[in-house]
A = this chain, B = another copy of it.
Amino acid sequence: MISPIQTIAIVGLGNVGSQLAKAFDNLAIPIQQIYNRNQAIAEALANEINAQAVTSLSEIKTDLCIIAVADDAIETVIHQIPKSVKIAYTSGGVKLQDLERKENIGVFYPLQSFSKGRTINLFEVPFFIEATDIDFAQQLFDLAWKISRKVQFVDSKQRRKIHLAAVFINNFVNHQIYIAEKLATTYKFDKALLYPLLRETIEKAIENGAYDSQTGPAKRNDKSVIEAQTNLLSGRDKAIYELITKSIIETYHEKL
């Protein structure tokens, strides 16, 4: 029987860290200690969730410390936390085996985009768990299971692949929306006109799969529309239009 995690600290109160802290608190899983580079943020949250805002990472003394900091800060932060504290980080891209610490180090990676002011239903969010030793991995799994029903053990190699897919799903989808919103500004129409189409686009892709959901001039290989649309664009947006159009044409027509 593996003893559960009793006490938790969270380091880094950006979007991921602060949402996790509140989610645990909402589910009556107390967070004992929190730390943030900007101390005012830690103090404000400490009041809200009744935790202690520590001013130095060396003060952390919980069973587990979840660090939700930028990828390139993970190593530095780990070094400042007492060796007796187990550490889990929330990054999709950093390999466990690349870190200097070889014991009591693990991964607690939520596949979601967190932002201040938007509350996420964590129960639907996949959590990917990994740790250097099997007991700690189980403790992290059990902890994640308290806040989500989509918890999996996944190694660093696989986690990076999932993270890559998430870049297309989140970062690149968002950039397409950004270009469309820019067109709305340039051409003086209300960008909100695009939102029913956007919502239907993703619901259709989820229901039928994106391969079968593709429509439009590139899917039909409609050269005259493609040429007319290309002529409306310039610079980066034009290059993106041309490359994605080419990719769609090749996806659906190269087998003919």
Contacts and interface: CB of A to CB of B under 8 A. Distances in A.
Interface of A: 70-72, 93, 111-113, 115, 118, 120-121, 124-126, 150, 154, 158, 160-181, 183-184, 187, 189, 193-211, 213-220, 222, 224-225, 228-229, 232-233, 236-237, 239-241, 243-244, 246-248, 250-251
Contact of A118 (B150, B204, B216, B219): B204
Contacts of A175: 210, 214, 244, 247-248, 251
Contacts of A194: 111, 165-166, 169
A144 to B, nearest CB: 14
A15 to B, nearest CB: 8
A252 B215 CA distance: 30
B166 A200 contact: no
Contacts of A239: 243, 247
B113 A178 contact: no
What 3 A-B pairs come out closest when comparing CB atoms?
A171-B216, A178-B210, A177-B210
